[in-house]
Each structure stands twice: as C-alpha cells, then as structure tokens.
C-alpha cells in the first residue's frame, strides 16, 4: 500500500499590532454615521454552532433534489432549506449507494429530540422500483464518510482522521465567526476536492469522546480502521493513499503504516 502522511500545519501566531493612525476628522457640516448601530447588521454574539447530519444508504440514482424532498416529506417537515445546506450525494466507499451531508444553522425541534444524544441513529427504509434501501441518519460520522464525487480516473484516496474529542466533520471546520454558521468552510470538504478533483476524499470517525470514554484499547481502534480501509479499497488496493491526521488520528496512521 503506497501511502503518504500529512499533518495539518498550524499558522504561526503573530502579535497584534496596535493601530496608531488617527481617523480623519470629518469636514465641518458633513454627516457622520455610526456603522455599529446601522439597522439590518446582525451581531455575531450568541450564534448557534452548525449541526451536521450524515445520510447514508441513499439510492444510487437519487440526486440532491430527491434527497431534499425525502427529508422534508418523511423525516422532518420543519426543515427550512433557506437555513439548511445539503452536500452531495456522494458515492459510498462501500457499495453502490450514496451518502449526503445535511448542515443546519440550528437544529429543528423534531431532530433535537430524536438526536439528543450523539449516538442516536435512525434507519429509514426506502422502496424504489421494488428495491429496498436501508438508509441511515446519524451525526456521529463513525467509519468512512465521503466528502466529494471524484472525477475519473481516481488517482488516490485521501483520508482525514481527527484526534481525541474531535468531531469528524466539525473539527476540520473553520472557527471564524460568521452570521451563517453552516457556511463556515470545512477545508477537507470545501477546498481539497477543488484542488484535487481526481482524488476520493473521506473522513474517518471513531468513538474518541473525552466526556464519555469507552473501554476500547489502541489495538481495537487500529483493527476497526484496517477493516474500514480494506472494505473501501477492496477493488483498488494498489491505489495511492494519503493520510491527514491529528493527535490520536496521527498515532493510528503510524500504526497502520507500521502494520502494512
């Protein structure tokens, strides 16, 4: 297995520079306007964090409109697509189904109740042309999650693995304050596919909570990752693979490379 390992670089902190330039004095009689008190300028304080759901097992012929219609008509009629964002669907790394990402500025009442715990999962069943599809909706993003629809031919797989206590999707998202949280870029999803369209880009998630720790050992994490990689690459074992790791994710990558 031809591998390359990358670690995210940290931007060097630069000391803030105090601006000593004085603002120009307005001309006599000219009107002045306090920008901070203008109407229709939202204030950034108290913004809700964006919430992202993963919908997997989507029928292979569905497009984004089909997914949106299904979510609205069968999952949650409170969904407001002016404040929601659907990404995908993208090809599943395991079979011929698809996977999509649903981002919300603020979770609806229905979804808040049904997914109050991060490990809550729903399994809607869809029948299309006498074929049954077992979809899965979750927000923990365990295992491999596709982030793009690669352009053929695919030359490499890129897999990002987060560290202790980091959410698979939220960890890689920009921390910049914004008035529309779901539009904060997640660079694995928003930037890498544009720069490397011929790569299949995925994240790998695992139970690494610091609040509710489990009894898994390091070897258990390694085995789960190996199984996921083998399942996703069973028809392309010679394809190059690039790992991006942080914290415990980097240790998992080192162990995988050592075992291979």
Burial of 225 (0-12, 13-18, 19+ CB in 10 A): buried
Q: How many CA atoms lie within 13 A of 214 on its CB side?
A: 12
Distances (CA, A) of 194 to 54, 130, 148, 199: 21, 37, 9, 10
Distance CA 252, CA 25 (A): 60
pLDDT of residue 116: 82
Cα distance between the two ends of the chain: 7
Nearest CA among 84, 49, 54, 83 for reference residue 175: 49
Tokens of 215: 């009894």
Measure the CA dihedral 97/149/181/65, to 10°.
-60
Neighbouring C-beta atoms of residue 45, cutoff 10 Å: 6
pLDDT of residue 50: 74
Q: Could you give the maximum distance between any two Cα atoms of the chain, in Å? A: 78
Residues 6 or more apart whose CB falls under 8 angstroms from that of 143 comprise 204, 205, 206, 228
pLDDT (tens place) for every residue of the chain, 260 residues total: 555 555 444 434 334 444 434 434 444 444 433 333 333 333 333 334 678 899 999 999 999 999 999 999 999 999 999 889 999 999 999 999 999 999 988 888 889 889 888 788 999 999 998 899 999 999 989 999 999 999 999 999 999 998 887 777 776 776 666 555 556 778 889 899 999 999 999 999 998 776 666 778 888 989 999 999 999 999 999 999 999 998 888 899 998 877 66
Measure the CA dihedral 173/175/177/182, to 10°.
20
Nearest CA among 3, 2, 5 for reference residue 250: 5
How much is the pTM? Answer: 0.76
Tokens of 105: 């500025």
Domains along the chain with CATH numbers: 48-139 (3.30.70), 141-260 (3.40.50.1820)
DSSP per-residue letters across 129-172: TTEEEE-EEESS--EEEE---PPSSP-EEEEEE--TT--TTGGG
């Amino acid at each position: 297995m031809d591998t390359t390992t990358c670690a995210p670089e940290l931007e060097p902190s630069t000391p803030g520079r105090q601006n000593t330039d004085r603002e120009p004095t307005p001309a006599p009689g000219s009107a002045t306007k306090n920008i901070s008190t203008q109407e229709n300028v939202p204030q950034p304080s108290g913004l809700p964090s964006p919430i992202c759901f993963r919908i997997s097992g989507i029928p292979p012929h569905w497009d984004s409109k089909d997914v949106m219609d299904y979510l609205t008509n069968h999952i949650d009629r409170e969904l407001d697509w002016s404040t929601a964002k659907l990404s995908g669907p993208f090809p599943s790394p395991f079979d011929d189904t698809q996977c999509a990402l649903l981002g919300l500025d603020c979770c609806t009442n229905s979804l808040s109740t049904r997914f109050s715990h991060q490990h809550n999962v729903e399994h809607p069943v869809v029948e299309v042309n006498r074929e049954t599809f077992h979809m899965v909706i979750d927000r923990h993003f365990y295992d491999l999650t596709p982030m793009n629809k690669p352009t053929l031919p695919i030359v490499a797989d890129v897999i990002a693995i987060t560290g202790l206590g980091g959410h698979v999707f939220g960890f890689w998202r920009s921390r910049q304050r914004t008035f529309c949280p779901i539009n904060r870029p997640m660079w694995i999803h928003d930037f890498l596919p544009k720069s490397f369209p011929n790569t299949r880009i995925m994240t790998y998630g695992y139970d690494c909570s610091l609040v509710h720790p489990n009894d898994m050992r390091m070897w258990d994490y390694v085995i789960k990752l190996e199984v996921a990689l083998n399942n996703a690459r069973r028809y392309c074992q010679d394809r190059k693979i690039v790992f991006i790791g942080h914290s415990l994710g980097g240790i998992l990558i080192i162990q995988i490379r050592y075992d291979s």
